[in-house]
Structure 1
């Protein structure tokens, strides 16, 4: 069998391969098989040197003609296949811009965040500026600067989470008050803060080792207990409505003197008595008082006529009351369906 016969066999095999190739990748594979560096055509071209001159010239002409025909056929078919596949891809990815758009499911705000933002919005109307503080705190800002001496029960391991390096997880957001006063800003000072606090106590239906608080303080010349009661009454009625009833009662906090608590009429039973208010018709909401002189003295604000007022409440408890939840743990669940259901009660 002569080499020329082999050339014609390769040409026939090429025609058959081209006819069966339907995609760009298959045609490119045919090109590599029949015209690549290791193809039979290149092998025959290398063997031409061993033939007599006349035979070499004749077979070289045949081989060149067949190679040129193969290349021309592939040059025609490859772009057509590429264009055909591109158009098919465009059709499969075509978008009807007149159809409604598709969006990702939006997450749900945690009810605690909604209550917190609603409360801060009320305080901003009174001129309070929002400030944040660290949750891992120095005992000085958590206790000493706030007139909580070393023998105070709150410093016991049963109430506070102590960390390595003589640090604590803050047990109240009043640490922000201490940090702001430590900066010695000019009077008047009106600051609100909110966030997580931690208490080393038993977890039950109404208590958790981590919960949320929000509080504010105001330091300026001439403030009295009447200013404090006016601020508290305004905040409560903005949050609960003008019809809510309030009452004040004496309390004790080491960082305020005098100290008061604020109760509101139960929003569930309207004062008639129910399980939520333990049948007394009132629910404790806030703790407050005039900033203790020892705290003012600690930061250099113990001057004639300068007084401060402070107040705070647990937004975890407030949110549970608004949503009529019997377990505060439900506020910290992370399922979106559950959170959406809860937040509907705050709209």
Structure 2
């Protein structure tokens, strides 16, 4: 192969490659000229046919042609890629200068929002948050809270049992028993929030799993007046300046016991379907800690007293967000949760 043949080969390569409009044809031309069995490789193999200065000149020309063809191939690759991008943009009507679509921002679940607000309010009153297991023992869930085996409250709660001694806790009050057991007769002031489980018929306002919040304070000299002051403060912090009333109730672990109601926000006390025409909505149950519970954990009822209160966070969430049903909150329907994320709860 002579130098003149190399020059003709180079011109032919540049013309063929520059005229290409298809990426597959470009790849075929690259293999033809620069591949392992391509024309440039064959030209390099023929260098040994030359001698002396002619050999050096021929090798230099082969290298120049290889570099030129490589450059033309690279330029054609960039040109075809740019043309392909331009075609896609024209076909898809995409404006690459527009800002990208940002991922949707996540948010706390409405029940969690209400829970955090409640814990924050109680934290300002000096209550420390505590936690306990959801799989609880029969003792801490019932016996230690003055609910013996023959007590009707056990039937009312219709429990999920894991085995003969363990069950899914039916109330967060079980953590109250654990805290008192660990306190060894010292004053305690604690708030507890979490999931609880009851084998209930699922309907618009009841679920087998829901969230509760409990608070309790045991110390020397506490009276019902302290309970009333804390309960009314909590009600007004959560529901605003609405009327509050206390009514007699019965709980096995408190005596005396009361229910705390607030004026229905939807009807202003006039009566509607949300409050069952009563004009009031029950928000929590409360009472003075039963002397049997105090004695169970080594407290002298003549020296120590205490009060406890609690409410269903799940039901409170429906009240705060103005929902008539509880079940949709737990279905995980993103459409509802996005609407609630943009709506302020009464307590926030």
| Matched residue, 1:217 | 216
| Matched residue, 1:178 | 177
Residues 24 and 78 in structure 1, CA contact (< 8 A), matched pair in contact too:
no
| Matched residue, 1:107 | 106
2:66 pairs with 1:71: yes
| Matched residue, 1:332 | 330
Q: 1:22 to 1:318 in 2, by over 3 A?
A: same
Residues 215 and 311 in structure 1, CA contact (< 8 A), matched pair in contact too:
yes
- 1:179 deviates by 2.2
State the Cα deviation string for residues 75-134 of structure 1 (Å, max 9, x = none).
654676788899999x99x997xx988643223443323322222222122111122223
- 1:66 deviates by 4.4
| Matched residue, 1:276 | 274
Q: 1:18 to 1:301 in 2, by over 3 A?
A: same
- 1:309 deviates by 1.0
- 1:208 deviates by 1.5
| Matched residue, 2:225 | 226
Moved more, 100-109 or 321-330: 100-109
Q: 1:18 to 1:213 in 2, by over 3 A?
A: same
Provide structure 2 residue ranges, at least 5 long, that are not aligned to the other structure.
90-94
State the Cα deviation string for residues 52-90 of structure 1 (Å, max 9, x = none).
xxx65499568535422312314654676788899999x
RMSD: 4.1
**3-state secondary structure, aligned to 1:140:** helix
Q: How many matched pairs?
A: 337
**3-state secondary structure, aligned to 1:311:** strand
Runs of 4 or more above 6 Å deviation: 22-29, 81-89
Q: TM-score, normalised by structure 1?
A: 0.78
**3-state secondary structure, aligned to 2:284:** strand
Q: 1:83 to 1:220 in 2, by over 3 A?
A: same
| Matched residue, 2:284 | 286
- 1:273 deviates by 2.5
- 1:148 deviates by 1.8
Moved more, 62-71 or 226-235: 62-71
Q: 1:144 to 1:17 in 2, by over 3 A?
A: farther
Residues 253 and 290 in structure 2, CA contact (< 8 A), matched pair in contact too:
yes
- 1:21 deviates by 5.5
User: Structure 1 CA distance, aligned partners of 2:43 and 2:75?
Assistant: 30
| Matched residue, 1:206 | 205
Provide structure 1 residue ranges, at least 5 long, that are not aligned to the other structure.
50-54
- 1:158 deviates by 6.9
**3-state secondary structure, aligned to 2:278:** coil
- 1:279 deviates by 2.5
2:264 pairs with 1:266: yes
**3-state secondary structure, aligned to 1:34:** helix
Moved more, 38-47 or 317-326: 38-47
Residues 108 and 336 in structure 1, CA contact (< 8 A), matched pair in contact too:
no
| Matched residue, 1:52 | none
State the Cα deviation string for residues 268-290 of structure 1 (Å, max 9, x = none).
33332222333333332221112
